[in-house]
Amino acid sequence: MLSNSVLKQLSVPADQDVPMAMDRQAYLSAIAPQIVNTDAQETSPEAGVDGADVIGSDMRIEGEVLEVLHKSLTAMFRKHGVANQVNIRQWLMEFPAAGAASEASQANDQALHEAVTSGGQFVCIRGSYLAARTGSPQTDPFRAVVLDAFGSKDLVKRSELVAEAKKRGLNISEAMFMKVMRAVCLPRPGGFWCLKPGWDGS
C-alpha cells in the first residue's frame, strides 16, 4: 500500500493539469523518509580505497628488490642515456633480467623515485633520470659539468659548459663534447642544449 503522503502527492484535482512525474528522491522520501540520499554516498569508480585516487602501490622498495633494481637500471642506462619514470617502469616490466625488480614497477611515483635515487648511482633532474657516472675516466668529469649545469638551468649553451670545464681544469675536445651531449641532451635553436626528457627524446 502506498503511504498517504504519496497518494496525496500523486492525486490531481479534476480541474488541474497533470504535473510532471515526481523525481526519484522525492518519491523515496515520501514512501520511506528514513532512506538517506544514496546518490551523495556513491564513490567515483576511479577512486580507490576510502575514495582516494590510486596512483600506485604504497610498497616500500628495499632489500633484494632495491639491490636488483639498481643492477637493472645500470643495464638500462648502458643502453639509454636518459629515462623518465614511464621508461623505467616499462624497462622493469619487459626486461627479462629485471627479475625481482619488476615488482618496483608497481610502486607509486614517490616510492620509485626514492628507490632509484637512493645510493647516489642515479640522479633525477626535472623528471629526467640519468646515471651519475658511466665509469669512463675520459668523459665522466665533463659529464659532471653538464649535469651540474642543468641542475640550475633548463637550457645551457656550449660556451657556458666549456667555460665551466676550463675552471675545473678540463680540456674538452670536440669529440668528447659531442659524445657526452648526444648521450644525454638535445640541441635547441640559438645554440642551446636541453636534457632529453626520456628515451629517444620522448
Whether 112 and 193 map to the same domain: the answer is: yes
Residue 186 lies in a domain: yes
Expressed as residue numbers, the domain containing 181 is: 63-201
The answer to whether 177 and 142 are in contact (CB under 8 A) is: yes
In a domain, 11, yes or no: yes
pLDDT, tens digit, for every residue of 111-143?
A: 999 999 998 999 999 999 999 999 999 999 999
pLDDT of residue 99: 78
Question: Closest Cα partner for 173 from 98, 39, 181, 117?
Answer: 181
For residue 49, tell me if it sits in a domain. Answer: no
**Do residues 33 and 72 both lie within one domain?**
no
d(CA 34, CA 15): 34
Q: Is residue 52 part of a domain?
A: no
What is residue 98's predicted lDDT score, i.e. its pLDDT?
73
In a domain, residue 124? The reply is: yes
107 shares a domain with 31: no
Range of weakest confidence among 54-68, 145-159, 183-197? 54-68
Beta strands in 81-135 (DSSP E): 122-125, 128-131
pLDDT tens, 53-106?
334 567 789 998 899 999 999 999 999 999 999 999 999 998 877 778 888 999
Does residue 97 lie in a domain region?
yes
Spatial separation of the C-alpha atoms in residues 89 and 69, rounded to whole Å? 11
| 26 and 97 housed in the same domain | no
CA distance 188 to 191: 6
In this structure, the answer to whether residues 85 and 150 fall within a common structural domain is: yes
Same domain, 111 and 19: no
Q: Does 34 lie in the same domain as 75?
A: no
32 and 117 belong to one structural domain: no
Render pLDDT for 12-55 as a digit per residue (tens, 0 to 9): 454 444 444 444 444 444 444 443 343 433 333 233 333 333 34
Q: Are 35 and 78 found together in one domain?
A: no
Residue 48 has, within 13 A of its CA and on its CB side, a CA count of 7
Round to whole Å and give the CA distance between 126 and 84: 10
How many structural domains are present in the chain? 2
As to burial, measured by CB atoms within 10 angstroms (0-12 exposed, 13-18 middle, 19+ buried), residue 95 is middle
pLDDT number for residue 200: 64
- Pairing mode of beta strands 156-157, 122-125: unpaired
Instruction: State the residue for C-alpha cell 526519484.
Output: 24
34 and 101 both lie in a single domain? no
What pLDDT is attached to residue 183?
95
CA distance 147 to 192: 15
Query: Which residue has cell 497533470?
Result: 18
